[in-house]
Amino acid sequence: MTDPSSFGTALWTLLIVSGVVVALGLAAVSDMAMRRREDRAAAGSAPQEGSAADLATASPRGGPARGGNPSDGGADPR
Q: Give one DSSP letter per residue of the chain, joined into a string.
A: ---HHHHHHHHHHHHHHHHHHHHHHHHHHHHHHHHHHHHHHHHTTPPPTTSHHHHHH--TT--GGGT--GGGTT----
Mean pLDDT rounded to a whole number for the chain: 76
User: What is the model's pTM?
Assistant: 0.48
> Which tens digits make up the pLDDT trace of 3-32?
778 988 999 999 999 999 999 999 999 999
